[in-house]
Amino acid sequence: MILLSLIISYLIGSISFSYLIGKKVAGIDIRSHGSGNAGATNTLRVLGKGPAVMVLLLDALKPVATMYITYWLTDSNQLAFAAAGLFTVIGHNWPIYYGFRGGKGIATTAGVALALNPLAFVICAVLAIASIAITKYVSLGSLLFVTLFPILLLLFTQNYLLFFISLLITVLAYYRHYSNITNLMQGKERKIGDKSHRKLN
């Protein structure tokens, strides 16, 4: 049942709401516009606030759904519960339905964080939003979120297995943000509000 739940988690994680909403709203493949990323930030850049908020919420709800499905299927197995979140993020980043070209997993990671520890999630979210508001860099706020969450999770739960799984998710986020990190270091990262963020006409 654990293996089945992880497969289900990956398959549900592979549903790309950015891609689907891009097709529905504008008839486009979101990955061919803006940054080329299938996520909420690029949806904001290309399609505007409404579709971006929808993508953000749906991507965040994916792991909440898969983790509680897993919780039910595995008789409340805590390790499987957390692993389902990891596999949902993997599905989001490398979706089997779309040629393994997905997003960077931040909204999905936020959903995992919410399911694992709501208090740690709230603290990380507030600090990440503050960082984005001050610097205008979504990537910087995203990296701040994924960096702080494993630390706070360990602090609040003292559970090293959950910490390890959350750390794996953080590593995935850093891997997917390699180009953003390079741009931040070189002063080339785009900010919210830049002309390059105009939505599709």
Residue-level pLDDT at 193: 65
Please tell me whether the overall predicted TM-score, pTM, comes out greater than 0.95 for this model. no
| Average pLDDT score, the chain | 93
- Among 99, 103, 114, smallest CA distance to 172 is for 103
pLDDT at 191 (0 to 100)? 87
Instruction: Give residue 11's pLDDT.
Output: 98
What is the pLDDT at residue 199? 47
Which pLDDT band, with edges at 50, 70 and 90, does 58 fall under? very high
Give the whole-angstrom CA distance, residue 75 versus residue 107. Answer: 27
Tell me the three-class secondary structure of 41-105, residue by residue.
HHHHHHHCHHHHHHHHHHHHHHHHHHHHHHHHHCCCCHHHHHHHHHHHHHHHHCCHHHCCCCCCC
- Amino acid, res. 107: A
Q: Could you give the C-alpha distances from 153 to 51, 114, 146, in angstroms and in order?
A: 31, 11, 11
The more confidently predicted of residues 133 and 34 is: 133
- CA-to-CA separations, 42 to 24, 39, 60, 148, 198, in angstroms, rounded: 16, 6, 16, 24, 10
What are 145-186's pLDDT values in tens digits? 999 999 999 999 999 999 999 999 999 999 999 999 999 999
Residue-number span of the structural domain to which 86 is assigned: 2-197
**Average confidence (pLDDT) over 53-61:** 97
**Do 103 and 93 meet the contact criterion of CB atoms below 8 Å apart?**
yes
Number of domains in the chain: 1
Model confidence band, residue 14 (pLDDT cutoffs 50, 70, 90): very high
Query: Cα–Cα distance between 199 and 166 in angstroms, integer?
Result: 34
Task: Give the mean pLDDT of 70-83.
Answer: 95
Q: How far apart are CA 189 and CA 180, in angstroms?
A: 6
pLDDT at 195 over 60: no
Say what the pLDDT of residue 192 is: 80
% of the chain at pLDDT higher than 90 = 90
**Percent of the chain clearing pLDDT 70 (strictly above):** 96
Average of pLDDT values for 55-72? Answer: 97
For the chain, what's the residue count? 201
